[in-house]
């Protein structure tokens, strides 16, 4: 051990995914290009051998898709409000 008196807690994978992907998915939900790229990344991560990666990638994929669908409906709602 190089530094036996230093302790670094393990990285929580769910927190890592939350910190990395949630802001991107939230702030760019209206941009199809970003959504497609995110889904490709989630698919790659889901294929990794660790189940925790698969679970987190699947959860974030579903959340990003839900945000994108909500953004797609907003213009229709705005038109309906004006009528």
Report the pLDDT value the prediction gives residue 28, as an integer from 0 to 100: 92
Report the pLDDT value the prediction gives residue 58, as an integer from 0 to 100: 96
Q: Interior CA angle at 34 toward 30 and 40, to 5°?
A: 130
Give percent of the chain above pLDDT 90.
Answer: 61
Among the listed residues 62, 13, 7, 2, the one whose alpha carbon sits nearest the alpha carbon of residue 35: 62
Dihedral class, residue 47 (left if φ above 0, else alpha if ψ from -120 to 50, else beta): alpha
Which of the 8 DSSP states describes residue 11? Answer: P
pTM of the model: 0.77
> For the CA atoms of 36, 41, 43, 46, what is the dihedral angle to 10 degrees?
-150
Please list the pLDDT of the chain residue by residue as tens digits (83 residues).
Answer: 688 899 988 889 999 999 999 999 999 999 999 999 999 999 999 998 788 899 999 999 999 999 999 888 776 656 656 65
Average pLDDT over all residues of the chain: 88
Tokens of 69: 């669908």
């Amino acid at each position: 051990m190089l530094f036996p008196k230093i302790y670094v807690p393990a990285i929580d994978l769910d927190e890592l995914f939350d910190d990395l992907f949630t802001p991107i998915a939230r702030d760019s939900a209206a941009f199809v290009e970003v959504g497609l790229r995110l889904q490709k990344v989630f698919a790659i991560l889901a294929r990794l051998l660790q189940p925790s990666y698969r679970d987190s990638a699947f959860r974030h994929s579903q959340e990003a898709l839900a945000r994108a669908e909500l953004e797609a409906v907003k213009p229709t709602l705005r038109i309906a409000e004006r009528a």
